[in-house]
A and B are shown apart, each in its own frame.
Chain A
């Protein structure tokens, strides 16, 4: 059974790119366009992994990660940040919010797949 991944990104092209490259690697992809929808989709799809952008309108990635981690059923769900930002300050903030890992955009499909398999058994 393929792993179900929820991707949250406000850019439609990025969502499609993720879906295209990860579907090709055997993952099932659901997506949402901001933190608020992302949180709602977490409940609906109960993914094996959450991949979220940081800079989004409404609820940003940090807030989404904190909100997801605060829910008992998602305490152990791996969360990867996929962002163009790469400052240590932002990464530290993501970690303290509960992110499992950080991947800097632009991503290479194969490496992203490897990173996913690293957190998603």
Chain B
């Protein structure tokens, strides 16, 4: 049971995330001037659902806050409060608190301080257009922290709370005196036609009372017409019922919960006196028990006949109902299914094996045999399975973009800068693992853009720009890569300052000659920070270097392009998936290695003299006028090569890495270009520097995947030192 509830609760939190997204989109639309009933209703429904589920799972604080928020939304929905900008601002603040409460309910953060937001909501409800001052100054006295949400102190182990029942028309309750011995209850019950028309069943009410020890002591049949005039849907009888005094009034009220609003129900204490007579002719039916019996039968046959009929038909048809169900609509409720991510990984791994087996078959069979066993068809199906499995792991990048609007609101409030966010391509699907790891870099880039890029409104106006800055967040798929850009229209990178800072920090020499791009890249250097005052937004010493290392850990890279006075564009180039790699199969001393294609810039067959030795053990290649360092992988890995090829017969693959720029790698030949399934080395061996994993090639042999960044890193240090010297 508990596991089941945990699982349901996990689904609830997913719904919360969806609800929060819908609410945020709705609020953003409202902020932009769309206050249509549909938009308002979407926000209301989202908050309402969160509240409902939160109550069911016993998240009292979330329920209470969402309830207050919902009240304001309800008033707006009903047109009693106008959705002015200041009201919307309060709601955005409340939205943030709901998000925090959801996070608190999930246990990812502590309970948020929502007093100010509650006060602001109160002010809106009270009709005072919440001024910012009010938001900041919560008067504890006027903040009803205890709201009348159906939240109770007593929470049972399953997190359920008592149901709130509304009992109307329960007269006489005030008269009940506290007595050592409870006098008997006397109940007068006259069900109404309306209650019956709504499917209420008086017989069930009486049976439930009987279950508590009640006795029907009188039935008033005076209103009962002759049979020919009897309306089977009307109610004609009035019952007088006596009930032991120890039964709680609430219990009695519960019984009448569904008939009370329309029916006459009077509950009184008899104070130990004899039962009052039933209003009219109480003795008549009592004198003739047979008549009562007949009467009750007639009532059962007449008045509730419709219900009896309905329930029996329901019962009979229910039996064959499953057979009638259209499979397509059989379970409209469950259109999604939650799957353990590990199972997906396992599936992807197995599909990878299948792909490999397929290539092995195609290597071993002659083309004619391949056709005979329909191998191409098999390969096509395998490819389809592979694509489908990959798509299972893909999620819209929206999930990573989601937290940006809120962050921007916080940032703009903190800095006094004005920023609008434009997003594009939120539906671009990216591997779940990538989405999880891209959040932090993205957060930092946005912070960076607001903190360092976008100018203050005054400064922007002086520069002839609109006071409001713009940050564009976009995602797109290009081949096997996902391109995420964060672009601002701020002041751009101040290269003179970056350079001065880099010299001061000893990152480069005072006389280093760097291109603009190289200077821009310096902001990604570890420990680099140009913020003169460390704000609490960005600039804590960790920053762009973390962005870069996170992105590189994903097999991606960060490009920076900046125009002074016009803004900066950060481009994250990410792999579509973490499990399959587009690789170039190269041969080295008879062995095969896979070079990630993302790093490969070009392949060069060197002319004699193009590769030159500078100092012993260090070589460069001249490529169109520039010199690039060259690395002999045979030496790096210490491979025994009985017949080393002269440089002119080998190939130089120019790779580009984040750490070292372009570097030439000398290999023997290029074998192939193919997608390979990455198998982790860590699972079977310890991590080896320079190797990113292994894969199985078509012929069943194993090839190691080269980790370009790690391979060229030692070179780059030499290079940087050389520059700095």
A binds B: yes
| Interface residues in chain A, defined as those with a beta carbon under 8 Å from any beta carbon in chain B | 1, 4, 10-17, 20, 24, 28, 31-33, 37, 40-41, 44-48, 53, 55-57, 69, 73-80, 83-86, 88, 91-92, 95, 98-109, 111-112, 114-115, 117-121
* Contacts beyond the supplied A33-B332, A45-B321: 10 A-B pairs with Cβ under 8 Å: A12-B15, A13-B11, A33-B333, A88-B166, A109-B160, A111-B163, A114-B254, A117-B204, A120-B204, A121-B307
**Complex contact B160–A98 (CB within 8 A):** no
Q: List B158-178 residues whose CB lies under 8 Å from chain A.
A: 158, 160-166
B310 at the interface (CB under 8 A from A): yes
Q: How far is the CA of A112 from the CA of B8 in the complex (A)?
A: 18
Q: How far is the CA of A84 from the CA of B45 in the complex (A)?
A: 11
Q: How far is the CA of A24 from the CA of B334 in the complex (A)?
A: 20
**Which of chain A's residues have a CB closer than 8 A to the CB of B332?**
32-33, 37, 40-41
Q: List B286-312 residues whose CB lies under 8 Å from chain A.
A: 306-311
**Complex contact B306–A40 (CB within 8 A):** no
**Complex contact A11–B53 (CB within 8 A):** yes
**Complex contact B255–A118 (CB within 8 A):** yes
Interface centre among A75, A84, A107 (most CB of B within 10 A): A84
**Which of chain A's residues have a CB closer than 8 A to the CB of B56?**
13-14, 17, 105-107
Q: A78-B200, A106-B55 are in contact. Are A12 and B333 (CB under 8 A)?
A: yes
Q: How far is the CA of A73 from the CA of B254 in the complex (A)?
A: 28
The stretch among B100-108, B257-265, B581-589 that forms the contact with chain A is B257-265
**Complex contact B310–A13 (CB within 8 A):** no
**Complex contact A77–B317 (CB within 8 A):** no
The stretch among B191-199, B526-534, B590-598 that forms the contact with chain A is B191-199
Q: A45-B321, A108-B160 are in contact. Are A100 and B200 (CB under 8 A)?
A: yes
**Complex contact A119–B150 (CB within 8 A):** no
B570 at the interface (CB under 8 A from A): no
B318 at the interface (CB under 8 A from A): yes
Interface centre among B205, B306, B314 (most CB of A within 10 A): B314
**Which of chain A's residues have a CB closer than 8 A to the CB of B564?**
none
Q: How far is the CA of A53 from the CA of B333 in the complex (A)?
A: 14
**Which of chain B's residues have a CB closer than 8 A to the CB of A98?**
197-199
- Minimum CB–CB distance from A13 to chain B (whole Å) comes to 4
The closest CB in chain B to the CB of A48 belongs to B314
**Complex contact A40–B258 (CB within 8 A):** no
Q: How far is the CA of A14 from the CA of B15 in the complex (A)?
A: 10
Interface string of B366-400 (1 = CB under 8 A from A): 00000000000000000000000000000000000
B144 at the interface (CB under 8 A from A): no
By DSSP majority rule, is chain B's interface helix, strand, loop, or mixed?
Answer: helix
Q: A10-B49, A95-B261, A118-B205 are in contact. Are A106 and B310 (CB under 8 A)?
A: no
Interface string of B307-346 (1 = CB under 8 A from A): 1111101110111010011100100111010000000000
**Which of chain A's residues have a CB closer than 8 A to the CB of B198?**
69, 79, 95, 98-100
Q: A13-B12, A105-B55, A107-B160 are in contact. Are A45 and B333 (CB under 8 A)?
A: no
**Which of chain B's residues have a CB closer than 8 A to the CB of A69?**
198
Q: How far is the CA of A14 from the CA of B262 in the complex (A)?
A: 30
Q: A20-B4, A44-B325, A48-B318 are in contact. Are A105 and B201 (CB under 8 A)?
A: no
B208 at the interface (CB under 8 A from A): yes
By DSSP majority rule, is chain A's interface helix, strand, loop, or mixed?
Answer: mixed
**Complex contact A45–B318 (CB within 8 A):** yes
B460 at the interface (CB under 8 A from A): no
Q: How far is the CA of A5 from the CA of B1 in the complex (A)?
A: 21
14 A-B pairs in the complex with CB atoms less than 8 angstroms apart: A10-B45, A11-B49, A13-B56, A31-B333, A55-B49, A69-B198, A75-B197, A78-B307, A91-B166, A104-B164, A106-B163, A109-B160, A118-B204, A120-B311
When A and B form their complex, which 4 residue pairs have the shortest distance between CB atoms, in order from nearest? A101-B258, A106-B55, A13-B12, A76-B310
By the criterion of a CB under 8 Å from any partner CB, how many residues of chain B are at the interface? 69
**Complex contact A119–B200 (CB within 8 A):** yes
Q: How far is the CA of A75 from the CA of B359 in the complex (A)?
A: 65
Q: A41-B332, A48-B311, A78-B201 are in contact. Are A115 and B306 (CB under 8 A)?
A: no
Q: How far is the CA of A106 from the CA of B326 in the complex (A)?
A: 33
**Which of chain B's residues have a CB closer than 8 A to the CB of A74?**
310
**Complex contact B199–A106 (CB within 8 A):** no
Q: How far is the CA of A45 from the CA of B320 in the complex (A)?
A: 9
**Complex contact A108–B52 (CB within 8 A):** no
**Which of chain B's residues have a CB closer than 8 A to the CB of A40?**
329, 332
B9 at the interface (CB under 8 A from A): yes
Q: How far is the CA of A69 from the CA of B199 in the complex (A)?
A: 9
Q: How far is the CA of A75 from the CA of B158 in the complex (A)?
A: 36
Q: A57-B45, A77-B199, A121-B203 are in contact. Are A4 and B325 (CB under 8 A)?
A: no
- Minimum CB–CB distance from B308 to chain A (whole Å) comes to 8
**Complex contact A115–B163 (CB within 8 A):** yes
**Complex contact A13–B15 (CB within 8 A):** yes
Interface string of B638-658 (1 = CB under 8 A from A): 000000000000000000000
**Complex contact A84–B51 (CB within 8 A):** yes
Q: How far is the CA of A83 from the CA of B51 in the complex (A)?
A: 10
Interface string of B198-235 (1 = CB under 8 A from A): 11110111001000000000000000000000000000
**Complex contact A15–B333 (CB within 8 A):** yes
B44 at the interface (CB under 8 A from A): yes
Q: A14-B56, A95-B198, A95-B262 are in contact. Are A111 and B48 (CB under 8 A)?
A: no
**Which of chain A's residues have a CB closer than 8 A to the CB of B261?**
91-92, 95
B156 at the interface (CB under 8 A from A): yes
B5 at the interface (CB under 8 A from A): yes
**Complex contact B8–A16 (CB within 8 A):** yes
**Which of chain B's residues have a CB closer than 8 A to the CB of A75?**
197, 199, 306, 310
**Which of chain B's residues have a CB closer than 8 A to the CB of A79?**
198-199
Q: A103-B163, A119-B204 are in contact. Are A46 and B156 (CB under 8 A)?
A: no
Q: How far is the CA of A56 from the CA of B310 in the complex (A)?
A: 27
Q: How far is the CA of A69 from the CA of B196 in the complex (A)?
A: 12
**Which of chain B's residues have a CB closer than 8 A to the CB of A107?**
56, 160, 163
Q: How far is the CA of A10 from the CA of B158 in the complex (A)?
A: 22
- Minimum CB–CB distance from A117 to chain B (whole Å) comes to 8
**Which of chain B's residues have a CB closer than 8 A to the CB of A10?**
45, 49
**Which of chain A's residues have a CB closer than 8 A to the CB of B48?**
55, 84-85
**Complex contact B321–A46 (CB within 8 A):** yes
Partner of A14, one of B53, B162, B306, B314: B53
**Which of chain B's residues have a CB closer than 8 A to the CB of A44?**
321, 324-326, 329
Q: How far is the CA of A73 from the CA of B318 in the complex (A)?
A: 13
The closest CB in chain A to the CB of B51 belongs to A84
Q: A33-B333, A104-B150, A119-B200 are in contact. Are A47 and B318 (CB under 8 A)?
A: yes
**Which of chain A's residues have a CB closer than 8 A to the CB of B201?**
78, 119, 121
- Minimum CB–CB distance from A75 to chain B (whole Å) comes to 6
Q: A41-B332, A106-B56, A106-B160 are in contact. Are A118 and B257 (CB under 8 A)?
A: yes
The closest CB in chain B to the CB of A38 belongs to B332
**Which of chain B's residues have a CB closer than 8 A to the CB of A17?**
5, 8, 56
Interface centre among A46, A47, A79 (most CB of B within 10 A): A46
Q: How far is the CA of A13 from the CA of B18 in the complex (A)?
A: 13
**Which of chain B's residues have a CB closer than 8 A to the CB of A120?**
204, 311
**Which of chain B's residues have a CB closer than 8 A to the CB of A45?**
318, 321, 325
- Minimum CB–CB distance from A87 to chain B (whole Å) comes to 8
**Which of chain A's residues have a CB closer than 8 A to the CB of B333?**
12, 15, 31-33, 37
Q: How far is the CA of A47 from the CA of B166 in the complex (A)?
A: 26
Q: How far is the CA of A37 from the CA of B161 in the complex (A)?
A: 29
**Which of chain B's residues have a CB closer than 8 A to the CB of A77?**
199, 310-311, 314
Q: How far is the CA of A78 from the CA of B309 in the complex (A)?
A: 13
- Minimum CB–CB distance from A103 to chain B (whole Å) comes to 6
